[in-house]
Amino acid sequence: MLSEYTITTQRESFYDITRQVCDAVENAVAARGITDGIAVVYCPHTTAGITINEKADPDVVQDMLIGLEKAFPDRAEFRHREGNSAAHLRASVVGSSASLIISGGKLVLGTWQCIYFCEFDPPRTRKFFVKII
């Protein structure tokens, strides 16, 4: 079962997509009776990614963005003509997917965890997919 979602981004940030992923799992449970399996969340873009991290304190995301900017700043010697090599670097480090465990018909997430779509080259209209197996 593959679900596709669209997200519109306005700024470089992490966007909480936990609700959409939970909906995909609930749909798989209702349609196919899947109670134990794997949910793969996948981003088909080269300047965006997927990660799992803390939501309880929004400063964590802000600090991660600061860290990524300091670790992978825009550099004058970059050759890519589109001019967004820093966004490509940040996206590759974050990764383009996350795999989550489904147990008892629900995602196994830690108390403080949520699933983020990570935008590094805004503004864009983006897609992500959830595959339940």
Binding region for Zn ion (CB under 5 A) = 82, 84
Tell me the residue number closest to Zn ion, measured at CB: 82
Q: Which is nearer to Zn ion, 28 or 87 (CB)?
A: 87
Using alpha carbons, select from 95, 103, 126, 97 the residue that is nearest to residue 25: 103
- What does DSSP assign to residue 75? -
Task: Specify the residue, 57 or 82, whose C-beta has the smaller distance to Zn ion.
Answer: 82
**For the CA atoms of 50, 52, 58, 60, what is the dihedral angle to 10 degrees?**
-100
CB of 93 to Zn ion, least distance (A): 15
Measured from the CB of residue 121, what is the shortest distance to Zn ion in angstroms? 7
